[in-house]
C-alpha cells in the first residue's frame, strides 16, 4: 500500500520554478531566432504560481528557484534596469512570506557581476542565514531530518559575471578551456562541435575543485545520517539524450563521479533547458530539468509542487511541467 494512502497529508510541501527570465520588454526570440519568448508575461505566470502555492491545501514550506529569474534583455538598459527587474521579479516571492532558495543562471550574470550577487537577495546563504561557503553561491539546508537540499553554483568556473575581476583564477581557467575547446569567435556558438562537446559554450559553466570537495564532504555526512539529498543547480548535470544544444555542466563527469560514490542522492533539479528533461541514471538518480516559464505562452502555467511522503517525493507539475515520483533512499518512519 502506498504511503500517500496511509497518510492523509504529506510530511512537507514545497514549490519549484525555473527560468522566469522577466524583462519589461515586448515578446521576442532566443539567440537562434527560432524559439519565442514572452518577457512580460513571465511575471504573470510567476504570480500565478505564487497564488497557487498560497491557496494550496498543503501549506508550502519553501520554494526552490532554479535560476534565470531575470533575462539578459535587461542589460540593454544598463545595470539600473537589471536591478529594477530583479526587484520586480522578487516581489511575488516576497508576498509568500516563506523562504525562497535561489541559484543563479547565465541570464543573471549577463546583467550584473558575481560580486553583486554575493551580497544580493539571490545569495540564499546570506538572506536565510545559512553559513556561506567558498565565497560562491553554494549552500545546503535541511528542511526535514531526512531531506537535505544542496545548491551548486554551476558558474563558479566560467567567463560570465567576472567583468570586475578578470584576474580571478577561475575566470582564467574558464577562458583557457573555452579557447581550447571552442574555435568559434563567439563562445556562445557551438558550430563545429558535436555530441557532448557542444557543452563548451559560454552560457554553460563549471564547478570548481574546491566546490566539488565541499560537495563530497556534505554527501559523506548526509549518507552517515541517512539523509535523502536533492541537488539543485541551474545547468543540468546530465542530459546527453537531448538532440538540441547541449546544456550541460562543463565538468559534469567529475561532479557525477563524486555524486555516484554516495547512495544518498535521489534527484538533481535543474533549469536552463527550457523544454525540460527527465532521465534516471544507472545509479537510480532522477535528473529533472524543469521547463522554462519564459517560453510558456500566455494562458499557460509552468511550475511544480513537490510533496514529501514516507517513501517518495511526488512532484505535481502544472501546465507544461509533467509530474514525477522520486523514491527515497531512506524511508521516513
Tell me which DSSP letter residue 230 carries: E
Burial class (CB in 10 A: 0-12, 13-18, 19+), 111: buried
Helix (H/G/I), strand (E/B), else coil: 113: coil
pLDDT band at 174; cut points 50, 70, 90: very high
Q: 77-91, 95-109, 186-200, 281-295: which has the minimum mean pLDDT?
A: 186-200
Residue with cell 545569495: 123
Each residue's pLDDT tens digit, 265-287? 999 999 999 999 999 999 999 99
Question: Dihedral (C-alpha) 229, 232, 237, 238: value to the nearest 10 degrees?
Answer: 80
Per-residue pLDDT, 1: 41
Span of 43-47, 151-155, 184-188, 232-236 with lowest mean pLDDT: 184-188
Q: Are 215 and 152 in contact (CB under 8 A)?
A: yes
> What residue segments make up the domains of the chain, in order of their start?
3-327
Q: Taking all residues of the chain, what is their mean pLDDT, rounded to a whole number?
A: 93
At a CB cut-off of 8 Å and minimum separation 6, what does 1 contact? none
Q: Which residues pair with 320 in a beta bridge?
A: none
CATH class of the region 3-327: alpha beta
Answer yes or no: are the C-beta atoms of 63 and 16 closer than 8 Å.
yes
Cell of 301: 502555467
Amino acid at each position: 500500500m502506498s504511503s500517500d494512502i496511509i497518510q492523509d497529508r504529506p510530511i512537507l510541501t514545497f514549490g519549484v520554478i525555473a527560468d522566469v527570465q522577466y524583462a519589461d520588454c515586448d515578446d521576442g526570440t532566443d539567440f537562434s531566432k527560432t524559439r519565442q519568448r514572452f518577457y512580460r508575461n513571465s511575471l504573470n505566470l510567476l504570480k500565478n504560481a505564487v497564488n497557487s502555492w498560497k491557496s494550496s491545501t498543503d501549506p508550502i514550506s519553501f520554494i526552490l528557484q532554479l535560476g534565470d529569474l531575470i533575462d539578459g534583455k535587461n542589460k540593454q538598459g544598463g545595470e539600473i534596469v537589471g536591478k529594477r527587474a530583479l526587484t520586480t521579479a522578487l516581489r511575488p516571492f516576497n508576498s509568500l512570506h516563506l523562504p525562497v532558495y535561489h541559484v543563479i543562471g547565465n541570464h543573471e550574470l549577463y546583467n550584473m557581476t558575481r560580486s553583486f550577487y554575493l551580497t544580493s537577495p539571490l545569495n540564499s546563504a546570506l538572506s536565510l542565514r545559512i553559513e556561506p561557503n567558498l565565497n560562491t553561491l553554494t549552500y545546503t539546508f535541511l528542511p526535514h531530518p531526512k531531506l537535505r537540499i544542496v545548491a551548486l553554483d554551476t558558474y563558479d568556473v566560467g567567463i560570465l559575471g567576472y567583468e570586475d575581476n578578470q584576474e580571478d583564477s577561475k575566470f582564467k581557467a574558464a577562458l583557457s578551456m573555452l579557447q581550447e575547446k571552442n574555435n568559434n569567435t563567439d563562445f556562445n556558438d557551438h558550430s563545429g562541435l558535436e555530441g557532448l562537446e557542444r557543452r563548451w559554450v559560454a552560457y554553460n559553466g563549471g564547478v570548481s575543485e574546491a566546490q566539488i570537495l565541499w560537495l563530497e564532504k556534505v554527501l559523506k555526512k548526509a549518507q552517515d545520517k541517512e539523509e535523502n539529498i536533492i541537488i539543485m543547480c541551474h545547468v543540468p548535470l546530465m542530459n546527453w539524450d537531448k538532440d538540441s544544444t547541449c546544456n550541460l555542466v562543463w565538468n559534469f563527469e567529475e561532479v557525477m563521479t563524486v555524486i555516484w560514490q554516495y547512495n544518498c542522492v535521489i534527484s538533481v533539479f535543474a533549469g536552463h533547458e527550457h523544454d525540460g528533461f527527465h532521465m534516471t541514471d544507472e545509479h537510480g538518480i532522477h535528473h529533472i530539468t524543469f521547463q522554462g516559464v519564459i517560453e510558456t505562452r500566455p494562458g499557460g502555467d509552468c511550475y511544480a509542487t513537490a510533496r514529501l511522503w514516507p517513501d517518495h517525493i511526488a512532484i505535481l507539475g502544472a501546465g507544461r511541467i509533467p509530474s514525477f515520483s522520486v523514491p527515497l533512499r531512506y524511508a521516513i518512519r
